[in-house]
Amino acid sequence: MQAPPDADHRAEPGISAAPDSAAGRAAFVGVVATGAAVAIGEFLAGVVPGVPSPILSVGQQLIDLQPPGAKEFVVSLFGTADKLALEIIVLVVALGIGALVGLIGRSQPARAMGIIAAFVAIGVASSLRDPETVLTLAVGSGLAEFAVGATILDRLLAVARGDDGRSPTTHATMPDWSRRSLLIRGGLVAVGSVAASAFGRSLLARQRQTTPGAVPVAEDQVSLPTGADLSIPGLTPIVVPNADFYRIDTALIPPNVDRTTWQLRIHGMVDREVTLTYDQLIELPVIEQYVTIACVSNRVGGDLVGNAKWTGVRLRDVLDMAGVQTGATQMVGRSVDGWTAGSPTAWVMDPEREPMIALGMNGAPLPREHGYPARVIVPGLFGYVSATKWVTELEFTTLEAFDAYWVPLGWAKEAPILTQSRIDVPVRNTQVPAGPMKLAGVAWAPDRGVASVEVSIDDDVFREATLSVPISNATWVQWEFPWIATSGSHRARVRATDSTGETQTETATRPDPNGARGWHTISFIVA
Ligand SMILES: Nc1nc2c(c(=O)[nH]1)N[C@H]1C(S)=C(S)[C@@H](COP(=O)(O)O)O[C@H]1N2
Ligand SMILES: [Mo]
């Protein structure tokens, strides 16, 4: 194999990545200028509270628009990974438009400036929907973004043309000078942009982390029964620590709610509209209970489910103050950011269960990601039809009169949590040593309760696993299954039966419209 004869001469080390054509250079300039404009916005958002992050603002706008086709994308209801993907998409599209701006800027600088201005305006406008945005600061930051973007575009385009003032040369005499200079200056701006954005973002994350205040103390404190946790290495703990608890919501940044000004309003089909402050709310008896909550978009074997000890007040104590009218078949929870969940009134009023307004989670104030200062917890219902975080309104209406957030996107209007079970140990597709071992996992059927869990290995008959001591019907259980591992590759399946006698069905289904069905099946190898 031989390289073309003059290949070595053409490759100039160090600047071989420099944009070669005039168009390439202009596009490069546009990308760098746009990136710098975004970066100054992200930087200011971190440094000055009230300044919106441009990327997060546009991303949140896209989520809130619920674009057609979103249902496929959001089957996972915006887990953390989806949010990062969305941010990256927004950034890549912005930089792509930046490249166009650079190309246009060569011949029509005014038009290029106009596009940058429009672009900044979209960012500012999107940010105004966030209650934390301060209008004047948003506009000020927008002006800074425009100034930075426009200036850098102007200067670097001049460099790209070779008339940056510093080197009054012509392309004919020093053809490489402008390219080298462009690469160095553009590169410096790009590096600075990345650093400024990263710095801004790290400050922004910290800005939004506080959940001040203490947890109210429950009159009757609950604790775990002995035997509630089988304590098997690799098995999900029976109570999931807050830091490990799954998080699902449509908020790119969790709302920052001040609990001293926060209010909960109960209205609609009630006898008396009631508005409670945090301090008024905790004058009601404070209770605590363990409840397992689950996401409808959890796939078979997935981990969008968790069990925590919730502290708060009885939802029905609050509702009794307002007097729910007969005929009000739906309770709509609304969060400070406008998200809604609708639960059947009959479900929350059933004396067999104790729905609550939760204020604490595992002994701490609700973390911001989980709804500080208050959220709804309804045993037995999937999160999207009940568990409103950052709740600020409970509106009573009929099931027919209102569709909450996810319903028009193709999810069921009424959605009790399905019975599901999962194998945690061994981890699928891993290798375990031969000899006696335990398979283990969790199973849940809130708030019917799990009656039994069965395991089948290599298509042998299903045999019953041993369960942890249940905390209550509203919580999951752990299960363990002793087995003597023989070398070779194996397949394990699990299925649970709830207290009504209903066993999980075998065929795997998609999560939509009302939850995934099917037996969790894993393969593993015994060495
Ligand atoms: N305000 C608000 N509350 C919300 C949501 C949301 O998007 N916004 N998502 C719901 C969904 S789909 C689920 S599964 C649970 C998840 O609660 P967690 O994040 O505390 O685990 O919150 C529910 N409450
Ligand atoms: Mo969910």
- Model pLDDT for residues 56-79, shown as the tens digit of each residue: 999 888 888 766 655 555 545 556
Question: 432 and 385: one domain?
Answer: no
Which residue range is the domain that position 332 belongs to?
Answer: 242-409
Question: 307 and 362: one domain?
Answer: yes
| Residue 415, domain member (yes or no) | no
Question: 318 and 431: one domain?
Answer: no
| Residue 414, domain member (yes or no) | no
- CATH number for the domain that contains residue 507: 2.60.40.650
Contact 95, 102 (CB under 8 A): no
pLDDT higher than 90, residue 84: no
- Cis peptide, bond prior to residue 131, ω within 30 of zero: no
pLDDT value of position 20:
64
| Residue 512, domain member (yes or no) | yes
Does the beta carbon of 248 lie inside 6 Å of ligand 1? yes
Question: 41 and 154: one domain?
Answer: yes
Q: Between 480 and 85, where is the model more confident?
A: 480
DSSP letter, residue 242: G
Atom of ligand 1 nearest to the CA of 405: 7
Orientation of helix 109-127 relative to helix 135-161, angle to 10°: 150
3-state SS class at 268: strand
Backbone angles phi and psi of 91, in degrees to 5: -65, -45
Burial 477-501 (b: 16+ CB within 10 A, else e): bbbbbebebeeeebebbbbbbbeee
Does the beta carbon of 133 lie inside 6 Å of ligand 1? no
The bound ligand whose nearest atom lies closest to the alpha carbon of 372 is: 1
| Residue 227, domain member (yes or no) | no
Question: CA-to-CA distance for 491 and 340, rounded, in angstroms?
Answer: 41
- CATH number for the domain that contains residue 365: 3.90.420.10
Q: Between 423 and 50, where is the model more confident?
A: 423
pLDDT value of position 76:
53
pLDDT value of position 259:
92
CA of residue 296 to ligand 2 center, whole Å: 5
Mean pLDDT of 170-177: 48
Which residue matches tokens 């946790």? 229
Question: 337 and 483: one domain?
Answer: no
Q: Whose CA is nearest to atom 9 of ligand 1?
A: 249
Look at 37-51, 198-212, 230-244, 402-416 and tell me which has the smallest mean pLDDT.
198-212
3-state SS class at 265: strand
Best of 242, 384, 391, 476 for a ligand 1 pocket test (most atoms within 8 Å of beta carbon) = 384
| Residue 223, domain member (yes or no) | no
- Model pLDDT for residues 475-484, shown as the tens digit of each residue: 999 999 999 9
pLDDT higher than 70, residue 360: yes
The neighbour count for residue 227, using CB atoms within 10 Å, is: 12
Residue 293 belongs to what H/E stretch?
strand 286-294
* Last-in-domain residue among 409, 432, 456: 409
Does the beta carbon of 384 lie inside 6 Å of ligand 1? yes
CA of residue 295 to ligand 2 center, whole Å: 4
- Sheet of 488-498, strand order: 431-432, 520-526, 488-498, 450-457, 463-464
pLDDT higher than 60, residue 364: yes
Residue 164 belongs to what H/E stretch?
none
Orientation of helix 22-47 relative to helix 54-65, angle to 10°: 90
Mean pLDDT of 249-260: 88
- Model pLDDT for residues 221-235, shown as the tens digit of each residue: 999 999 999 999 999
Best of 361, 366, 389, 406 for a ligand 1 pocket test (most atoms within 8 Å of beta carbon) = 389
Q: How far is CA 165 from the centre of its chain?
A: 49
Question: 426 and 404: one domain?
Answer: no
Which residue matches tokens 């075998």? 506
pLDDT value of position 241:
97
pLDDT value of position 163:
67
Question: 265 and 197: one domain?
Answer: no
| Residue 234, domain member (yes or no) | no
Does the beta carbon of 389 lie inside 6 Å of ligand 1? yes
pLDDT value of position 261:
94
Classify burial at 149, counting beta carbons within 10 Å of its beta carbon; exposed 0-12, middle 13-18, buried 19 or more: buried
Q: Taking Cα atoms as reference points, which of 291, 393, 397, 265 lies closest to residue 340?
A: 393
The bound ligand whose nearest atom lies closest to the alpha carbon of 306 is: 1
Q: Whose CA is nearest to atom 18 of ligand 1?
A: 247
- Model pLDDT for residues 423-472, shown as the tens digit of each residue: 999 999 999 999 999 999 999 999 999 999 999 999 999 999 999 999 99
Which residue matches tokens 């792509």? 96
CA dihedral 102, 108, 110, 116 (to 10 degrees): -20
Does the beta carbon of 396 lie inside 6 Å of ligand 1? no
Question: 69 and 192: one domain?
Answer: yes
| Residue 374, domain member (yes or no) | yes
* Last-in-domain residue among 207, 227, 261: 207
pLDDT higher than 80, residue 298: yes
Atom of ligand 1 nearest to the CA of 361: 20
CA of residue 359 to ligand 1 center, whole Å: 15
| Residue 439, domain member (yes or no) | yes
Question: 177 and 278: one domain?
Answer: no
Best of 245, 246, 249 for a ligand 1 pocket test (most atoms within 8 Å of beta carbon) = 249
Structural domain total, the chain: 3
Look at 163-172, 432-441, 509-518 and tell me which has the smallest mean pLDDT.
163-172
Atom of ligand 1 nearest to the CA of 382: 14
Please work out, in degrees rounded to the nearest 5, the angle formed at the alpha carbon of residue 271 by the alpha carbons of 266 and 277. Answer: 30
- Please give the radius of gyration of the chain, using alpha carbons only, rounded to the nearest integer: 29
pLDDT value of position 170:
44
Question: 432 and 381: one domain?
Answer: no
Mean pLDDT of 173-195: 82
Question: 337 and 196: one domain?
Answer: no
Average pLDDT of the residues of the chain? 90
Question: 65 and 124: one domain?
Answer: yes
* Last-in-domain residue among 353, 384, 409: 409
